[in-house]
């Protein structure tokens, strides 16, 4: 499991952790039941405040992605396959929306964008 924290980024550190762990879960690099590093262990590894890592885990727990078992640590939540799929779809949707936004800035038409998507889809 790789986590890369950029201290100078505008994005708060806890959000960087949330985003990266979330991505790993959605890509199934982390599977249901996998243990996560302890809050303090992670803070030590990343040399950041314990409050920050705790907050990241709280956030992930709120989203139902991880569960904390008192005294044992935190684990990746067993995901409902449908739910997981939905979350992944949402992720793709977000990325596409971003692409659309950029396209509009360059005044690309829908057709041009679709063509680009088609080419990319066949290529990958």
Partner 1 sequence: MEPILEVKGLRKSFGDFTLKDISFSLPRGFIMGLIGPNGSGKSTTIKLIMNLLKKEAGEVRVCGLDTDRHVLAVKQKIGFVYDENHFYDELTALEMKRIVAPFYREWDEEAFNYYVDRFQLPVRKKIKALSKGNKMKFALTVALSHQAELIIMDEPTAGLDPVMRSELLEVLVELLQDERKGVLFSTHITTDLDKVADYITMINEGKVVFSVAKDTLQETCGLVKGGKSQLTPEIRDRLIGLREGSFGFEGLTTDRKQMEALLGERGVIERPTVEEIMVYLVRGYGNADISL
Cα–Cα distance measured from residue 83 to residue 17, given in angstroms and rounded to the nearest whole number? 22
Choosing from 7, 105, 111, 124, the residue that interacts with partner 1 (CB under 8 A) is: 7
Choosing from 48, 60, 65, 66, the residue that interacts with partner 1 (CB under 8 A) is: 48
What string marks each residue from 69 to 98 as x (binds partner 1 by CB under 8 A) or -? Answer: ------------------------------
Residues 12-31 that bind partner 1 (CB under 8 A): 12-14
Cα–Cα distance measured from residue 88 to residue 29, given in angstroms and rounded to the nearest whole number? 13
Closest to 60 in 3D by CA, of 34, 99, 81, 96: 34
Interaction of residue 33 with partner 1, rule CB under 8 A: no
Interaction of residue 101 with partner 1, rule CB under 8 A: no
Minimal distance in Å, beta carbon 102 to partner 1?
18
Closer CB to partner 1, residue 51 or residue 117? 51
Q: Decide if 57 contacts 39 (C-beta within 8 A).
A: yes
Choosing from 19, 27, 31, 44, the residue that interacts with partner 1 (CB under 8 A) is: 44
3-state secondary structure string across 75-114: EECCCCHHHHHHHHHHHHHHHHHHHHHHHHHCCCCHHHHH
**Ramachandran angles phi, psi of 14, nearest 5°:** -65, -35
Binding region for partner 1 (CB under 8 A): 7, 10, 12-14, 40-41, 43-44, 47-52, 55
């Amino acid at each position: 499991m790789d986590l890369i924290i950029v201290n100078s980024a505008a994005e708060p550190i806890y959000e960087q952790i949330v985003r990266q762990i979330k991505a790993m879960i959605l890509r199934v690099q982390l599977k249901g039941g996998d243990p996560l590093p302890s809050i303090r262990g992670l803070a030590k590894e990343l040399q950041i405040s314990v409050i920050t890592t705790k907050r990241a885990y709280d956030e992930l727990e709120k989203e139902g992605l991880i569960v904390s078992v008192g005294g044992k640590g935190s684990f990746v939540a067993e995901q409902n396959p449908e739910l997981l799929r939905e979350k992944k779809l949402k992720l793709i949707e977000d990325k596409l929306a971003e692409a659309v936004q950029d396209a509009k800035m360059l005044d690309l038409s829908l057709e041009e964008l679709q063509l680009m998507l088609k080419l990319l889809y066949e290529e990958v």
